[in-house]
Amino acid sequence: MAMNRSRRSRENLYRMYMEFFERAERKRRWSVFEDIPWELHDPSRNDEERALNVETFCAVELYLPDFVSKGVNLVRECFGQTWFQVNWGYEESKHGLALRLYLENTGQRTTAQLFDLEESIAAKTWELPFHTARRMTCYGAIQESSTLLAYKRLIADSKRHEDELLAAILTLIARDEAAHGEFYRQVLAVELEEDRQAALDDLAYVGLNFRMPVLDLFDDLDARLRALRAHDAFDTWGFRVKIWAPLLKKLDVSREEMQQAYRRVREREREARREQDAEPGDRAANA
């Protein structure tokens, strides 16, 4: 079967994965059993709004079955990307678990409430927002950086309110998120090297259609967003500004180049709409 990727890019991705994995194994691994300082828990620091924010992040992390199964199938022909997805899934599984344990061990949620949460998550499925590996790489680069930024805001918030235990857990998670964002950025750099214009168009397309997963997963979204905003952990436009400029700088993509890509994508979308609008008339004329 013909491969979509050249041998050279698969070799690049293999090397990148091995570097990522070695660093993860040697320097970044942490354990929910050994490395969380549960002794720092101070019940006077429990706060319902902050607990709701942790629950929201925990819930997003618990959509893991969909993220992993749908994500891995898109990249199965490339060893580096597939092994990354699986390792990524392991790391994300710890994030959901650590946050779940935090809620339970601090007495802010009962075991029964957490199983209810699990059921509400199982009732919905997360759908792939984009359907090619390259677009999902663009999505991953933006999504992981947005998640990192949100966790950083929550870390600052927990420190402000002297919830040292939560700050410690979030700091472990944030280091993983930073590594995930970096890996996706590196893959995107390989894509730009392979076919610069097509990769830029995908980045522009994903930029125009990007939504954080949190926006599509909850029935009680408004209350959750209110709590996140009250703690400075969600702000669509502010996040966008903070994420795009560094991303483009690291990828060495100029503003003009990006503007041109946006124009091409918008033009193609207009074209597709014109064709769609023309269709019923054509059919009528042919009838």
Q: Which residues bind Fe ion (CB under 5 A)?
A: 92, 95, 144, 177, 180
Q: How far apart are CA 189 and CA 177, in angstroms?
A: 18
Closest of 261, 73, 84, 87 to residue 187, by C-alpha: 84
By beta-carbon proximity to Fe ion, the closer residue of 151 and 205 is 151
Q: How far is the CB of 158 from Fe ion (least distance, A)?
A: 16
By beta-carbon proximity to Fe ion, the closer residue of 154 and 204 is 154
By beta-carbon proximity to Fe ion, the closer residue of 95 and 224 is 95
Distance separating the N- and C-terminal Cα atoms of the chain: 42
By beta-carbon proximity to Fe ion, the closer residue of 169 and 199 is 169
Q: How far is the CB of 66 from Fe ion (least distance, A)?
A: 14
By beta-carbon proximity to Fe ion, the closer residue of 149 and 204 is 149
Q: How far apart are CA 75 and CA 69, in angstroms?
A: 11
What is the rounded (10 degree) CA torsion for 109, 127, 93, 90?
180
Q: How far is the CB of 140 from Fe ion (least distance, A)?
A: 8
The SS3 of residue 195 is coil
Q: How far is the CB of 144 from Fe ion (least distance, A)?
A: 5
Q: Which helix (H) or strand (E) holds 181?
A: helix 164-194
Residue 129 tokens, joined: 């927002």
Q: How far is the CB of 138 from Fe ion (least distance, A)?
A: 15
Q: How far is the CB of 137 from Fe ion (least distance, A)?
A: 14
By beta-carbon proximity to Fe ion, the closer residue of 98 and 189 is 98
User: For residue 22, what are the CA distances in angstroms to 16, 18, 19, 103, 213?
Assistant: 10, 6, 5, 32, 29
By beta-carbon proximity to Fe ion, the closer residue of 141 and 261 is 141
Three-state SS across 28-90?
HCCCCCCCCCHHHCCHHHCCHHHHHHHHHHHHHHCCHHHHHHHHHHHCCCCHHHHHHHHHHHH
Q: How far is the CB of 243 from Fe ion (least distance, A)?
A: 14
